[in-house]
Amino acid sequence: MINVLALVPDFVEKPSGGLGEQFRNIQQNLSNDVNYFICGYPEKNNLKNYNSVTSPIQDFKHSSLNTIFGQAMYFYESLKFKQNIDVVHAFDWSTFVAGVLCAWHLKKPLVCTVQLSLMLLNKCGIYYCHDPRTIDGEHINLLQRYYELLGITYANRVIHVSNSYKKAFNEEYPEFDSKSVVINNGIDVNSWVKKRCPRLPGKNKIKLCYIGRASPMKGLDTILNCSIPEDVDFYFVVSSKNAEEPFFGNIKKKCNNQNIFHIPGLYGQDKIDFLYAMDGVVMPSIHEPFGIVALEALISENLFITTAKDGIADIVNGIEYFKINNSEDLLESIRKIKLLTLQEKNKIINLGKNRAQNYNWKDISQQVLNVYRQVRNEKPIENLIAV
């Protein structure tokens, strides 16, 4: 067994999607080979199956403070584990500094997963954290970029979640290419089974949706500026939690309760049943390291309308989808969808579903295990020097 200290900046128990869900799938598939000691956000009264400690990071009210103090808190909480750790794994840039400190303190190798690169995000003109109530946004962004670079520099192995993302990242930092690997995220195919038909507002036959966060990287203006035809029902499935303005407010304004609707965030079986009730999913992202929603759209038998940015390009390569760059493209894609015969639609859907099934967690988890085995006996951090 390999003992891995996992720094996971998400809730690790509840099935709500995101990084927590990804980690759980890896943990479950590697239960016979890896003991995970988790520093994350455990849910109350639900710790029976997890070696978890609660990080106070979620108690900070301002996101800027989270990024500054959260790293220190992860390191502090991780020191509570007395087990003989073999590998430290920081699952996101927001735990990279804590990962470096843990690896140095424990004298163990470090693995860092680039779920999102702040450097590449900034190149798109998007900044992850700007909170004028606490500290100047430009300065906090530079600090976050330093966190990312520090983790990548000291990591024994860097995991990128898509080939496109690894290529883009290493074009900026070619010195890290030799220790970089690609391990995609995945989808639990067996859990994607339709159990009921949800009651949805709207009376039109064709139903499309956007499902995800209200944030700058999601390219929501493509939908917001599009004149959705009256004979198409469109659903924005967006939670108010962590939603950013003006995007969330503009979504609420766009909804007319006739053929455009807002639905609060859906999780678990509710999300699965909802997506099976759709005809197509729109993903107009400006920046998307991997694109888990793409897999969810394809596995639930949807037509896929997307900008095919970054990691999404890897997923849709070689299958049929509807490429968009702007609102006019979206409108044209809707027109094409209306003209599809049932045979044409089923052909596209089947190709997409087969592609999504290739991203299974069993194979992906084995790739993670191989990384642990490779780095287990590698030289750990000896001296910390400012990058």
Provide the residue ranges of all domains of the chain, joining segments of one domain with +. Answer: 2-186+361-375, 189-357
pLDDT tens-digit readout, 330-381:
999 999 999 999 999 999 999 999 999 999 999 999 999 999 999 999 999 8
**pLDDT for 134 beyond 60:** no
User: pLDDT category, 60, cuts 50, 70, 90?
Assistant: very low
Let me know if the fold of 2-186+361-375 is the same as that of 189-357. yes
Give 109 or 16, the one with higher predicted confidence.
Answer: 109
pLDDT tens-digit readout, 253-288:
999 989 999 999 898 899 999 999 999 999 999 999
Mean pLDDT of the chain: 87
Question: For residue 85, what are its two tokens?
Answer: 């750790």
User: pLDDT category, 64, cuts 50, 70, 90?
Assistant: very low
Mean per-residue pLDDT for 117-137? Answer: 70
**pLDDT for 133 beyond 80:** no
Mean per-residue pLDDT for 106-111? Answer: 95
User: pLDDT category, 49, cuts 50, 70, 90?
Assistant: very low
**pLDDT for 58 beyond 90:** no
| Predicted pLDDT at 52 | 41
| Predicted pLDDT at 15 | 53
pLDDT tens-digit readout, 30-46:
999 999 988 876 554 33
Separation of alpha carbons 186 and 362, rounded Å: 9
| Predicted pLDDT at 313 | 96
Mean per-residue pLDDT for 308-320? Answer: 96
pLDDT tens-digit readout, 175-202:
999 999 999 999 999 999 999 999 999 9
| Predicted pLDDT at 230 | 96
Give 13 or 32, the one with higher predicted confidence.
Answer: 32
Architecture of domain 2-186+361-375: 3-Layer(aba) Sandwich (3.40)
CATH of domain 189-357: 3.40.50.2000
Mean per-residue pLDDT for 304-333? Answer: 97
Give 135 or 253, the one with higher predicted confidence.
Answer: 253
| Predicted pLDDT at 350 | 97
User: pLDDT category, 242, cuts 50, 70, 90?
Assistant: confident
| Predicted pLDDT at 69 | 60
Mean per-residue pLDDT for 317-321? Answer: 96
